[in-house]
Amino acid sequence: MIDVRYAVTSAYQYFESIKDILGGDQLADLRLEEVELSEDKHAWLITLGYDLLDKNRSQFEELMVPKKPFRREYKLFRVNSETGEVEAMKIRQV
């Protein structure tokens, strides 16, 4: 069985390999959010979070809410606990 560090590294590498499809230069602050070993111990469940430029903000929001125009997004990766291969990536709702 692979250890948690290997599983997290696999998820990060997978994310980096498809980052351009997800928004590339509009992504910021990639962080590890959650780690869990599945009940059957066949997979590590890794949640990575990142900020994505929010292009849907109105001019009113820009004036009234003095924050960066980013929203937090989360991806859940299923990493095979034997091989370290990423088997799935899903949107993680919080």
Give per-residue pLDDT as tens, 8-35: 999 999 999 999 998 877 888 999 999 9
User: What is the 3 state secondary structure string of the chain?
Assistant: CCCHHHHHHHHHHHHHHHHHHHCHHHEEEEEEEEEEECCCCCEEEEEEEEEEECCCCCHHHHHHCCCCCEEEEEEEEEEECCCCCEEEEEECCC
pLDDT in tens, 35-75: 999 999 999 999 999 998 766 655 555 555 656 677 889 99
Whether the model clears a pTM of 0.85, i.e. scores above it, the answer is: no
